[in-house]
Amino acid sequence: MKTVSYIFLLLTLIACGVSKDTPVPQQELPEAYRNAFATDTTTIADIKWDAFFTDPKLQELINRTLTGNFDLQLAVKNIEASRQLLRQTKWGQVPQLNAYVTANTNIPSENSLNGLSINNFLGTSHIEDYNAGLQLSWEADIWGKINSRKKEALATYLKTEEARKLVQANLVASAAQGYYNLLMLDAQLEVAKKNRGLSENTVSMVTRQFDAGQVTHLAVEQAEAQRLRAAQIVPQLEKEIILQENALSILTGTLPGEIERSSLTTEDLHAELPTGIPAALLSHRPDVKAQEYELNAANARVGVAKASMYPSLSITANGGLNSFKANNWFNMPASLFGLVTGSIAQPLLQGRRLKTQYEVAKIEREKAVIGFRQQVLVAVGEVSDALAEIEKLKEEVVFAQERVTNLQKAVSNADKLFASGLATYLEVITAQSNVLQSELDLAAVKRNRLAAEVRLYKALGGGWN
């Protein structure tokens, strides 16, 4: 008995060194982001999406997206499947218990030793056998293989949870950016229609001057070309609006249709956008957490592969009722029987295959470490990019607004001067062309500013809570 105890103790000590986990790498991170507005620990990633986006129409769109989007529904199903696998692995160390009932008849050859023995001892040409019992089997987890499988299942489950969060964060950002793009298209369509009307007035004015002999027919043609250019933009923008509405409808899991929305001029920008410190990304961003859990799963897979190379200890027990006659099958205690066996199995010819699996598992673990480092680096870069965009877009909005104001004055002055004969038709057409493009650009810059805030919110890990 002492020998058996020593053997179990020795196996336990050896098992402790079967596989050593690779810890999550300590990534070198800066104390603050490049172009950061502040360096405290407060971050907009902690704000729920329905508090970050204050437009009621946008809130309704995001809510519909999170309710009906099929990608998110698939992510939830992946979580449910992973949860079931996790529950299964928790029973990995529980012995297997099976009940069985068998009945068979053996008719040996009369010229065989078994046939002669049956005739001599039982006086019959066949023998019956009836069994009913329980079979218990259990594998001792001396190398931690079963425990490693449980760790892998847990890490995989947690990874699917983070995958669901990532899908939600992407959906929130996609819905918001699509919504802002729709507002930009509305504003540009309004600009295009307004400039189409101005161009029509210019054509009428130039035509009257042509009739009066003050300008050539070339002036009429140039004015008409400018009107057609302004008119052409209208159906282009109307098409883009329909396509954007369809895309947002599909995002919400519904058939293409109109999207209720407000106006680009009513959208408020955030006065402050605290980013916190880069180290907070490790806990806020679902993709970074998913890479961490992937490393945990890779560690567990290395443990399973390593343990598979060592002997397995199994214990099997059988017990029940056995008889060669049906009429006394359940006589107690004469029909009772029991059997306990223990076995140790060491893989021999599979050594190369198991070694390959182990080496591949270690390589996959190294890849998981690299993937984690890369994801952290990408996350910090995305935040820095969004901060730079916001900072520079603030200046762009100011310059674009000033340009529009100046060009609108130029158009008004050009019309007055042309009517007085102090400006040429080319100056009028040029002024109208410039103001059209500048107003379209202003709407785009405003949209870009809003979209940059969305990218920053997502880059910091917001949107899934």
Q: What would the pLDDT profile of 262-313 be if each residue is shown by its tens digit?
A: 999 898 888 889 888 888 888 899 999 999 999 999 999 999 899 888 898 8
Give the pLDDT of residue 6.
47
Mean pLDDT by 10 residues, the chain (465 residues): 48 54 76 75 91 96 96 93 88 86 81 66 74 90 86 92 95 97 96 87 80 80 84 94 96 95 90 88 92 93 90 90 85 87 85 90 94 93 94 94 92 81 77 88 95 96 91
Distance CA 227, CA 222 (A): 9
Give the pLDDT of residue 13.
47
Cis peptide before 333 (omega within 30 of 0): yes
Give the pLDDT of residue 463.
93
Q: What is the pTM of this model?
A: 0.84
Give the pLDDT of residue 10.
47
- Those residues whose C-beta lies under 8 Å from the C-beta of residue 294, and which sit 6 or more positions away, are 155, 159, 368, 371, 372
CATH code of the region 96-140+312-345 = 2.20.200.10
Distance CA 299, CA 387 (A): 36
Fold of the domain spanning 2-93+143-310+349-459: Outer membrane efflux proteins (OEP) (1.20.1600)
Domain ranges of the chain: 2-93+143-310+349-459, 96-140+312-345
